[in-house]
Structures are given as structure tokens and as C-alpha cells.
Amino acid sequence: MIEVSIIGGSGYAGGELLRLLLLHPEIKVKQVTSRKFAERAVFLVHPNLRRITDLKFTDPQKMEPCDLLVIAIPNTKSMGMMEGFMKLAPKIIDLGADFRIHSQKDFEMWYKMDHEKPALLNQFVYGLPEIHREKIKKTNFVACPGCEATVSILTLYPLVKEGLINLAKIIIDAKMGSSQAGLQPTSSSHHAERSGVVRSYKPSGHRHTVEIQQELNFGKQPQIMISATAIEMVRGLLVTVHTEVCEEISEKDIWKAYRKYYGQEPFIKIIKERQGNYRYPEPKILVGTNYCDIGFELDKENNRLVLIGAIDNLMKGTAGSALQCINLMFGWKESLGLEFPGLHPV
């Protein structure tokens, strides 16, 4: 059994990971930090954990060494503290954006700030197990992907890898639940402003663009264009990806590509049914699960391929993938603690 601590455990991502870790048979949660809630019971912030744990939040200044440290603090906050974190644990998983981008230049262009520890960038493996499983097994440092990047990369990866789609124009329409914005309230998340919206909040220039381009660059960088829309949903993320096929292909060719790369993947399902309400991926039925559902529709008349991907942004988009990486780093069954199949109806 290993001891795991969480830096920044009062947010949605930290709380979701805590829920998973508390029930994991090979893990003991040692400490969970929060400046605001130090010395208060974690279930006061995460009421779903009432009677599951008697842990109290720890002040970050009182952290003790552990076997693995998970960092769940806002983007750009961990890089300046990373060397200190590395003294606390031999293995680290960062849920933020600070070490996802391999190129210092790209990070600084997209995040509009200098990277404080560029020498550490190449020490972190991009934490998407379906693509970097063997690297994750061998590394001590993982940078988990952004939630929108996770579902977009997984949806596109086999088709880009097989050269089936035109890399010159890939348009991603992403619809986001409110938990994607995090715990800290803003004027736009106020109920009177958020309720009932279909709000286009980032028609272009989404930061996850650089992650997707990085992970789908196999000698030629794809041109990724993202439009992000906030909708009235707490958990969940749906991407509809509009692409052009490179040559005349059939649905069989698309199935073949997905099966080649994902046929043995424990958390990816290809969803394309001929009947029923859930003929294509739907984030609602993925709430609380670590699955990524992928579907597609081939429009032969217009030489177009529409791809559809869905995840729970707090699970496969954050905490679930983090635990998947932990299982790989310590040589356990990859699906350990992540087997929950979801609920219906919800």
C-alpha cells in the first residue's frame, strides 16, 4: 500500500480524485491540503464523503513526505513550486496545465506568461494512457491533459494516425458543463446568469488547441480550430468534430481504424447504433465514469466525416485519468478503482 497526498483538495477535481483514492484497495490518503479550509473536515466541502472519511484538510505549509503527490491547484500555479513538491514525493501527478506542453515557446504563446521552470518541461509525460501507456509506466512525473483536449485527442487519434482525414482543417465544437470552470464562482457562473444558457464563451483561441496539436503531430501539425460553448449541464463534455476525408473511404475503414487502436482499451467505447435514444455518445450516461464514448457519421456526398466524443470532464477528463496513470505507475491493474459503469436514468 502506498501513501498519496493531494495538494489543493477542496476543488472539484481534487474532491473527485479524493473520492476515488479513498476506495482504492492499494492506496492510503495521507493528507489533503486547503488554505481556506485547513483543520476542517473534508466532508464539509465534499458532502458525498460524509462517513467515508474522517480526514481533515491540512495547511499546505504542513505537508509531510509521501509516495505520490497529486497537485490539483489552478493552472500556472504549480510551476514555481514544483521543485519544492519534488522534495515531498518521488512521484508526482499534476492536474494543471503547467507541464503539459513540451515547448516553452508554445506554452508562453498560449498562456501569455513566462514559464518559471522550463527545464522541467521534458521531465513530465503527457498523462493520456491510451497514447502514452508505456511512458507512463516508466516515469515519475505525469502532467494530466485538459478535459477538452482529452476527449478531442482520443476521438481523432486513430484517424489522424492512419491518415484518413485532412489535417488542414479540423473543427471542434465543444459543449461544456459548468463544473469545467472549477469551484471558484464568477459573475458568469452565478445561477441567474448560468441557468438556461447556450453561451459561446470561446469561439476561437481555446488553450487546449496547443495540446491537441502537440499530441496529434506525427510529422505534420494539424490545424485545430475549437469553438467552446457553455450549456446547462454540471458534469459532461461533448465534442462534435467536423473533418474532411482524404480519399474515398467507407464506414468499414473507420471502424477498422478505431478497432486497431482501441480494440483492447478498457475505457473507450465506439458508439454507433441504428436505433434507440443513445445512438451516439451522450455525456449524461457517463457521469461518474472513466469512459470515453466515440461515435461517427460519414457524409459521403460532402466528403465529410463527423466525429462525436463524450466524457465526464471530472472523471476521464481529470481525476479518472489521473488514477488510471497512478495504476500504471505502480504496476497495478489499469482499471483498478475505475470500474463504475454509470447510471441510467440519471
Q: Write out the DSSP string of 177-224.
A: -GGGG-SS--TTTSHHHHTT-EEEEESS--THHHHHHHHT-SSS---E
Indicate which residues carry an active-site annotation.
147
Half-sphere exposure of residue 27: CA atoms within 13 angstroms, side-chain side: 27
Q: Are 243 and 170 in contact (CB under 8 A)?
A: yes
Q: Are 327 and 276 in contact (CB under 8 A)?
A: no
Query: Measured between alpha carbons, how far is 25 from 17 in angstroms, rounded to an integer?
Result: 14
> Can you tell me whether residue 332 is helix, strand or coil?
coil
Q: Which long-range contacts (CB under 8 A, 24 or more apart) does 326-330 make?
A: 326/4, 326/27, 326/68, 326/93, 328/129, 328/133, 328/136, 328/137, 329/68, 329/91, 329/136, 329/137, 329/139, 329/140, 329/142, 330/2, 330/26
Query: Measured between alpha carbons, how far is 291 from 275 in angstroms, rounded to an integer?
Result: 21
Residue 49 CB: number of other CB atoms within 10 A?
Answer: 18
